[in-house]
Amino acid sequence: MNPAEIALHPFERPASLAELCRTLSTRAVRKEKTVLLAGGTDWIVERRLAPLESPDDLPLVLDVSRLPEMRAIHVAKEHAAIGAAATFLEIKSHPVLSRRVPVLTAMAREVGAVQIQARGTLGGNLATASPAADGAAALMALDADVVLASVTGERRVPLTQFFTGYRATRRAENEAIVRVEFALPRTGAHQMWRKVGTRAAQAISKVAFAAVVELEHGRGVRAGFGMASVAPVTASLPTVRALALAPNLASVSEQELEAATRRDITPIDDLRSTAAYRAHVAVALVKCFFRSLRTAIGS
């Protein structure tokens, strides 16, 4: 499909979230194909790779990139809400997010290059549901909720339950992702973002890792992890998380960390890397993060 063929798609720009939801609802009932367009950095690439459909059967493209309800970033004292159409550029440039959630802003700085950051959005990143999605990994570590809107109102799905399989989510046809929400980590929480790829920009990760742990009196009281490119969906590393919350954090061994990490991932060989290398990197990243935790508690 060439760029001119993309222009054949019927296109609308709803003026409000309510209008978007009405259109999604009507079309879902009639079983008409609809696609939401935010930055277009995933969808346009996919359309160009896909075989040309009949011009009579093209989906209606609904542009959500300017919807006020999806653009806002609100950061309160203990809570953040980021609109689904907020771009990575807006996220990485946000002064309070940079201070309170460096795991998120460091991620946004490493998505694609600046051209992709200026167009790409968190909503698009989550809806595409690629196992390599950087935004999903960082938000998983923050225990974020995905807020979905439809004509019947809003519902909230924890990100850990949002992905149902490779490129599949709990979003229904008549729903849009309107924002993500999470509790801000306490000041002093340990946060880490690491992306391992072939080069600094425009590279999809071989492995990406996000971690957030809050410590109190030498033990973890809140822990979240997200890892990209090591499973069919973003991995939340539940066994590693349990170790971070163990009462004996100081004595968690390197062997335990390795076993836990390997248990939580199912990497594969593909164009970008091998399963063996991915597992090796995943274990190294987890060990590196726990070393920083142990240093923090002085053990």
Q: Which stretch binds ligand FAD (CB under 6 A): 89-97, 133-141, 185-193, 241-249?
A: 133-141
- CA 127/CA 130 separation, integer angstroms: 8
From residue 49 to residue 88, the character string flagging contacts with ligand FAD as x (rule: CB under 6 A) and all else as - is ---------------x-----x-------------x----
If you compute the radius of gyration of the chain from its CA atoms, what whole number of angstroms results?
20
Figure out which of the listed residues 14, 102, 135, 185 binds ligand FAD, where binding follows CB under 6 A. 135
State yes or no: residue 224 binds ligand FAD (CB under 6 A): no
Q: In the set 13, 119, 155, 262, which binds ligand FAD (CB under 6 A)?
A: 119
User: 194 and 208 in contact (C-beta within 8 Å)?
Assistant: yes
Q: Which residues pair with 80 in a beta bridge?
A: 75, 182
Three-state secondary structure call for residue 127? helix
Query: Which is closer to ligand FAD, CB of 11 or CB of 242?
Result: 11
**202 lies in the binding site for ligand FAD (CB under 6 A):** yes
Residue 125 sits in the site that holds ligand FAD (CB under 6 A): yes
CB of 129 to ligand FAD, least distance (A): 9
Residue 226: strand pairing partners: 210
Question: How many Cα atoms are found within 13 Å in the side-chain-facing hemisphere of 187?
Answer: 2
User: What ranges in the chain are assigned the alpha helix state H?
Assistant: 3-6, 17-29, 43-49, 68-71, 88-92, 95-100, 102-109, 114-119, 122-128, 134-141, 159-162, 238-244, 254-264, 275-296
Residues contacting ligand FAD: total by CB under 6 A: 32
Minimum gap (Å) between residue 231 Cβ and ligand FAD: 15
Distance of closest approach, residue 122 Cβ to ligand FAD, in angstroms: 7
229 closest CA partner among 289, 283, 270, 182 = 270
Q: Among residues 70 and 265, whose Cβ is nearest to ligand FAD?
A: 70
Nearer to ligand FAD, 100 or 109 (CB): 109
Out of 21, 24, 37, 252, the only residue in the binding site for ligand FAD (CB under 6 A) is 37
Amino acid 269 reads D
Q: Are 60 and 27 in contact (CB under 8 A)?
A: yes
- Contact range with ligand FAD by CB under 6 A, out of 4-12, 109-117, 160-168, 249-257: 109-117
Binds ligand FAD by CB under 6 A, chosen from 93, 98, 128, 160: 128
131 binds ligand FAD (CB under 6 A): no
Of 132 and 243, the one with the shorter C-beta distance to ligand FAD is: 132
Closest CA to 28 of 157, 146, 123, 152: 152
Alpha carbon distance 148, 21 (integer Å):
10
Contact positions toward ligand FAD, by CB under 6 A?
Answer: 35-43, 45, 64, 70, 84, 111-112, 116, 119-121, 123-125, 127-128, 133-135, 171, 176-177, 202, 204
